[in-house]
Amino acid sequence: MTKLIAIDDGHGSETPGKRSDVIPELGRQVKENEFNKEFAKYLEIELKRCGFRTIQLAPTDYDTPLRARTDLANRAKADLLINGHFNAITGKFATSKAEGFSAHVHSKTGQAAKFANIALKNLSGGTPQKNRGLVQQNLHMTRESHMPAVLFEFGFMDNLREARLMLNVAFQKECAQEVAKAVCEYYGVSYVPESKPVAKYAPKPVHSAAAPKREESVQILTGGLNADSVKIIAEFFIAKKWWGQLQFEAPGNPRMLSGGLDPKMKTEYEAWLNERN
């Protein structure tokens, strides 16, 4: 049976304290959930394209209790749990020197650690960041899950350079792609890249038999004409439903370039022009 991957997007949108310092060019803080939920969304797209089944453990912006998340993953009998986060130390750009990504597991031995190390290798090939490596930590999400579970920290919210990445769609997709590639490698499945969009065929417009083709229409070179005269010529073309292109040349009388006009149209235009003169 196709493997089921549980995806958890970390904290809710209103979880206290889970946000960056104020980013100068934005004039506001960025909530951790603004990155987490996009990562979770793109990871699901990546995994489904590669043939995996997925389940989102916290699909809304509500701060779903941790117990509810792990209970759902356990009931669904997920094969692997992936948790996406952004880290912080002091919460202030001025006082924090931390940087980089890390993978957090309950034990440094076992399948969770094996998958985490594959993911760290893939993450190292993306946006230049410090690889903080594998971290053994007593966390609810990795401790209470009945399947291999890894919590990823993709950067630090109190590092200005990395905080700026949180709303960067290319970075969000990159993290999702690198973790998806790790899932594929872990299970021995070929990664399926996103296909490039195929340009849709657009048929050429069919001209009505009653209307002249553009290349068969008259072209006028005008010289020494005032605006009223040009307007009169334009109105003549509109009345005849002819295509017309007005260009301006050195002073002189307006003249016609036949441009493939049929004799009847050419005669009619010349007669009208002579009447005007």
- Per DSSP, the residues of 254-271 read -EEE-TT--HHHHHHHHH
260 and 220 within one domain: yes
Does 169 score more than 70 pLDDT? Answer: yes
Whether 193 maps to a domain, the answer reads no
Of 109 and 208, the structure prediction assigns the larger pLDDT to 109
Whether 208 maps to a domain, the answer reads no
120 and 20 within one domain: yes
Whether 154 maps to a domain, the answer reads yes
Least confident of 10-24, 71-85, 252-266: 252-266
**pLDDT attached to residue 216:** 43
How confident is the model over 234-254, as a mean pLDDT? 59
The domain boundary residue, chosen from 187, 204, 232: 187
Does 16 score more than 70 pLDDT? Answer: no
Whether 271 maps to a domain, the answer reads yes
246 and 176 within one domain: no
Domain hosting residue 218, numbered range: 214-276
- Highest mean pLDDT (candidates 10-24, 131-145, 192-206): 131-145
**pLDDT attached to residue 91:** 81
Does 200 score more than 70 pLDDT? Answer: no
Q: What is the CATH number of the domain that holds 128?
A: 3.40.630.40
244 and 179 within one domain: no
Total number of domains in the chain: 2
Reduce the DSSP state of residue 103 to 3 states and report it: strand
Backbone phi and psi for residue 11, each to the nearest 5 degrees, phi listed first: -85, 160
Could you count the other beta carbons within 10 Å of the beta carbon of residue 40? 25
Confidence of residue 92 (pLDDT cuts 50, 70, 90): confident
Confidence of residue 90 (pLDDT cuts 50, 70, 90): confident
Please tell me the distance from the alpha carbon of residue 112 to that of residue 99, in angstroms, as a whole number: 23
109 and 56 within one domain: yes
Parallel/antiparallel/unpaired status of strands 4-8 and 80-87: parallel
181 and 90 within one domain: yes
244 and 159 within one domain: no
Q: How far from 261 is each of 52, 89, 160, 204, CA to CA, in Å?
A: 63, 78, 67, 22
149 and 69 within one domain: yes
232 and 179 within one domain: no
How confident is the model over 229-243, as a mean pLDDT? 71
Does 260 score more than 50 pLDDT? Answer: no
**pLDDT attached to residue 17:** 56
168 and 55 within one domain: yes
**pLDDT attached to residue 72:** 95
Q: Is the pTM of this model over 0.75?
A: no
Does 217 score more than 50 pLDDT? Answer: no
Whether 43 maps to a domain, the answer reads yes
Sign of CA dihedral 43, 123, 21, 170: negative
Does 227 score more than 60 pLDDT? Answer: yes
